[in-house]
Structure 1
Amino acid sequence: MISDLADATAEQLLHAAQVGVRDGRLLEVRKLELVLAWADLHAGDPQAEPGAVPVRCGGPRLVTLGGEGTPQVADLALVEMAIARHEGVLATRNALADALDLRHRLPAVWAGVRAGRCEVWVVRRVARMSRRLDRDRASVVDTAVAATLDEAPARIVAVAEAKVIEADPAAHAARVKTNRDTKGVWYPQPRPGSQVDEDDNTGNDTAGVAAVFARIDEADALAHARMVEDLAVALAAHAPDVPEGDESPGMDHWRAEAFAMLADPAAVLAFLRAVEDASTEEGERPDASAQHAAAAEIVIHLGHDSEGDLGPVARVERLGPRLLDQVRDLLARHATVTITPVVDLHAGRSVNGYEHPTDVRRRTELRALGDRFPHATGLFTRHGRPPDHDHTVPYDSHGPPGQTGDHNDTPLARHHHRAKTHLGYSVFQLGPDRWVWGTPHGLYRLVTGTGTTALTQTEYHLLAEQAVVLGAAYAA
């Protein structure tokens, strides 16, 4: 414990922050354990007690809060625990339901969170996502999520989402059908006072603008988004020059203009013809990409089941897990579908130049999925900006051949790349998908496809020596 933070060294502050995260996680686990212990004390049927007030008269009764396979608890007993937790009864019931699911239906995940491997709120969300599954199907989610607890919260939730769908594809297909049966487009009317409401935090200021809400098929939404984007780019490119001193409108403005313009298809066609005619008069060749605006690249990751057939769930980059029927819907509107051969992530090569070849960058991004800086949360498939492909071991123009390749490629977001370059971080690479990091003040981490793990100084040095040997072997 540091008595005065103002007198602490950088190393002491970092150590205290690291310990604080773990202590905070374990404290949240302790809160759930207390609720579970309280539920265990009140698991008996209150109606079996002598002189019990009948349920029809408002007496206590057993209720099931968690999913299939979780024990019941006396409903009125939770009132006093809610008081002790300084919250409403509904919040306590929700916490207990999640805790029961974790203990009885997701035991591997529960063991991991009790070891401080991730935040409690993340696994509570997994418990809620999987609650409708029966106990056997929930075990599929348990096994997969437990293996990802060292990863970023978004990645854990993404894995849980995919496994819930995979565990019961029929139930998910029913959810898809229900949503498609409740499609609609809504144009809300402004509320009294909203024209002059200056509280920006409420989002109620509608002076001069209106909101539109739509629930449509996913394939239609993607096609509509592409159309709006293409039209917005054209509008921005052919907009009048902005007077000097004025700020140019951003793309959000032009997307809004394009969206509004779609209300008049004849105007859209006339504008696009005028753009094409102007380009022809100026001697420009029509843009091939504009002629085929409907074309799109969709990267789909498929898996096989135990019998060798395609599994029921695919992962679509930028969208997430989807049933195969949903993937077919995404592709149905395209007259021509080109299938690109599978990228072999076990392959690798090295070259003598500085720039990482396209195939190396592609494999690295598919292996890593996201930023490989310790505890980073950015996923390459969710953001438009590509990562920086940094040489793990800095490139030496006078060094040996084969310095650039799968063995020496660390994909980083720009901010993390700058920190690594300018602040004295050390990083070694253990093959194409494992990195060992050291911070300027002595924190050590192992980053892999399954997340970030803390290392001791001894472990760090042992792995760093192993990385040097591997690097020399690859370069040779």
Structure 2
Amino acid sequence: MISDPSNATPEQLLHAAENGVRDRRKAEVRQLELLLAWADLHSGDPQAEPDAVPVRFGGPRLISLGGDGTPEVADLALVEMAIARHEHVMATRGALADAFDLRHRLPQVWAGVREGRCELWVVRRVARMSRTLDRNQIRIVDTAVAAALDQAPSRILTIAEAKVIEADPVAHQGRIDKNQSQKGVWYPKPRPGSQVDDDSQAGVGTVFARLEEADALAHRQTVDDLAAALAEHADVPDGAEPLDMDHWRAEAFAMLADPAAVLAFCRSIEDPDQHDSDATRTTGDAELVVHLAQDPDGALGPLTRVEGLGPRLLDQVRDLLGRHTTITVQPVIDLHTGRSVNGYEHPTDVKHRTQLRTIGDVFPHATSLFTRQGRPPDHDHTVAYDKHGPPGQTGDHNDTPLARHHHRAKTHVPGYTVMQLGPDRWIWGSPHGLYRLVTTTGTSVITRAEYQLLEQDAIVLAGALAA
């Protein structure tokens, strides 16, 4: 422990911070373990006690808090534990429900979080997401999430979401049907005083809409196309900064209130030689990247993962595609193949394969996921490109996809090292001696000795590929 952080070295501060994360995670798990032990002490039926006050007169009773397969607990016993935890009894009930689910329904996840592999709040949310599943259905969630605990929270929750849907697609279809029966568009009226109380409300209106997903995507595509055209043909005064696309999307959205104005604008930018009767507005191409899984018998499973959207039922994908009159199915991309070129720039197909293979930023503990809506990653050469070096330096074997901020840190902060062990494995060293292994399953802490052993693998791999 550092008694005075102001006198510590950079290495001491980093290791103290890392140890602090480990200790905090253990302390949080310890709080749930204490809560579980308290619940175990009060798992007997209080109505079986001599002279018990009947439930109808307000006496204690057993209640179920967790999902299928979890034990019951005496309700009034939790009041005193809530006092000890400095919280309302309903917060204590919620924590115990999550703890019950973790211990009894998600045992592999519970074992992993007790080892300090993940933030407790993440797995508690997984417990709540999966509470409606029965004790058999939830096994698929337990296995998948336990294998992903070293990944960033956003990726763990994405996996959990997919597995909850996969475990009970009928229930998820029910959620879809319920939401689609509650569609609507709302134009809230400004409340008195909002024009001056909240500067962001002055002079603007707000619109909320709940649409079918296919309709929402089609609407977004139309707004994006119209916004791009408006921005391209806007008159920007000399020296003025061009307006951002958020502004032009707002202008396009407002313009849709007058279809005649939209049609007139579209005709005004068409080929002057084209007759008005032939002037039509067509939307741009939409690309869906869909990940499918096959059952052992070769049939497609009920669940898919759509890039930029997340897990979707196969029927939902059919609905998305059903809005297009022309559909082109591209060949399956084999992520096990590799390619290299002699130039500096990574080819488009290499970038595409890398992004599909890695899913997100490969900087240690990064959370960014690569989607069509987000900024595309920077494809950095793991081993710096040498214009006088051997051929084939650019390819799957030498591609480190990074978000821009992490790319800047790697490039401009002295001391970062990264080596690639294959198309989806990297080892990192930080300027002050922190070492990490990053794979498609997340980030793992490694020692300096482990880093040095893996470093030899990276050198051998680079030599083999350059040969």
CA contact (8 A) 2:225 2:284 kept: no
For residues 26 and 383 of structure 1, do their structure 2 counterparts lie closer, same or farther at Cα, with a shift above 3 Å needed? farther
Match of 2:322?
332
- The more displaced of 130-139 and 407-416 is 407-416
Question: Which of 272, 281, 285 is matched with 1:280 structurally?
Answer: 272
Match of 1:131?
131
Task: Give, in whole Å, the separation in 1 of the partners of 2:119 and 2:134.
Answer: 25
**Structure 2 counterparts to residues 85-234 of structure 1, below 5 A:** 85-198=85-198, 206-234=201-229
> How far apart are 1:248 and its partner, in Å?
4.2
Task: Give, in whole Å, the separation in 2 of the partners of 1:350 and 1:239.
Answer: 42
The code of the aligned residue for 2:453 comes to L
Post-superposition Cα deviations, 1:79-117, rounded to whole Å, max 9, x if no partner, equal 111111111111111111011000000000000000000
**Structure 2 counterparts to residues 30-109 of structure 1, below 5 A:** 30-109=30-109
Task: Give, in whole Å, the separation in 2 of the partners of 1:116 and 1:24.
Answer: 9
RMSD: 1.7
For residues 28 and 382 of structure 1, do their structure 2 counterparts lie closer, same or farther at Cα, with a shift above 3 Å needed? farther
Match of 1:235?
230
**Structure 2 counterparts to residues 322-471 of structure 1, below 5 A:** 322-381=312-371, 383-423=373-413, 424-471=415-462
CA contact (8 A) 1:387 1:414 kept: yes
Post-superposition Cα deviations, 1:364-397, rounded to whole Å, max 9, x if no partner, equal 1111111111111111116432111111111122
Task: Give, in whole Å, the separation in 2 of the partners of 1:273 and 1:354.
Answer: 42
Task: Give, in whole Å, the separation in 2 of the partners of 1:224 and 1:188.
Answer: 21
Indicate the SS of the match to 1:126.
helix
For residues 396 and 237 of structure 1, do their structure 2 counterparts lie closer, same or farther at Cα, with a shift above 3 Å needed? closer
> How far apart are 1:294 and its partner, in Å?
4.5
Indicate the SS of the match to 2:97.
helix
Match of 2:308?
318
> How far apart are 1:399 and its partner, in Å?
1.8
Indicate the SS of the match to 2:409.
helix
CA contact (8 A) 1:393 1:408 kept: yes
Task: Give, in whole Å, the separation in 1 of the partners of 2:62 and 2:372.
Answer: 45
Task: Give, in whole Å, the separation in 2 of the partners of 1:194 and 1:154.
Answer: 35
Post-superposition Cα deviations, 1:259-283, rounded to whole Å, max 9, x if no partner, equal 111111112111211222xx537x9
Task: Give, in whole Å, the separation in 2 of the partners of 1:6 and 1:347.
Answer: 51
Match of 1:257?
251
Indicate the SS of the match to 2:427.
strand
Task: Give, in whole Å, the separation in 1 of the partners of 2:403 and 2:261.
Answer: 41
The code of the aligned residue for 1:280 comes to P
Post-superposition Cα deviations, 1:310-333, rounded to whole Å, max 9, x if no partner, equal 010000000000001100111111
Task: Give, in whole Å, the separation in 2 of the partners of 1:392 and 1:248.
Answer: 36
Post-superposition Cα deviations, 1:158-194, rounded to whole Å, max 9, x if no partner, equal 0000000000000001110010011111111222222
Task: Give, in whole Å, the separation in 1 of the partners of 2:62 and 2:157.
Answer: 31
CA contact (8 A) 2:361 2:377 kept: yes
Task: Give, in whole Å, the separation in 2 of the partners of 1:236 and 1:375.
Answer: 37
CA contact (8 A) 2:152 2:366 kept: yes
Task: Give, in whole Å, the separation in 1 of the partners of 2:86 and 2:286.
Answer: 52
Task: Give, in whole Å, the separation in 1 of the partners of 2:62 and 2:296.
Answer: 41
CA contact (8 A) 1:295 1:334 kept: no
Task: Give, in whole Å, the separation in 1 of the partners of 2:418 and 2:373.
Answer: 25
Task: Give, in whole Å, the separation in 2 of the partners of 1:76 and 1:152.
Answer: 38
The code of the aligned residue for 2:360 comes to G
Task: Give, in whole Å, the separation in 2 of the partners of 1:7 and 1:268.
Answer: 65
Match of 1:266?
260
- The more displaced of 95-104 and 301-310 is 301-310
TM superposition score normalised by structure 1: 0.94
For residues 177 and 20 of structure 1, do their structure 2 counterparts lie closer, same or farther at Cα, with a shift above 3 Å needed? same
Indicate the SS of the match to 1:416.
helix
The code of the aligned residue for 1:237 comes to E
Indicate the SS of the match to 2:189.
coil
Q: How many residues align?
A: 462
The code of the aligned residue for 2:243 comes to P
- The more displaced of 343-352 and 457-466 is 343-352
CA contact (8 A) 1:294 1:334 kept: no
CA contact (8 A) 1:301 1:314 kept: yes
The code of the aligned residue for 1:258 comes to A
> How far apart are 1:243 and its partner, in Å?
7.2
Task: Give, in whole Å, the separation in 2 of the partners of 1:399 and 1:236.
Answer: 44
For residues 157 and 268 of structure 1, do their structure 2 counterparts lie closer, same or farther at Cα, with a shift above 3 Å needed? same
Task: Give, in whole Å, the separation in 2 of the partners of 1:64 and 1:401.
Answer: 66
Task: Give, in whole Å, the separation in 1 of the partners of 2:67 and 2:9.
Answer: 48
The code of the aligned residue for 1:371 comes to D
Structure 1: segments with no counterpart, 5+ residues: none
Task: Give, in whole Å, the separation in 2 of the partners of 1:259 and 1:360.
Answer: 36
> How far apart are 1:352 and its partner, in Å?
2.1
Post-superposition Cα deviations, 1:340-383, rounded to whole Å, max 9, x if no partner, equal 10100000122222222222211111111111111111111164
Post-superposition Cα deviations, 1:405-450, rounded to whole Å, max 9, x if no partner, equal 2111111112211221222211111111100111111100000000
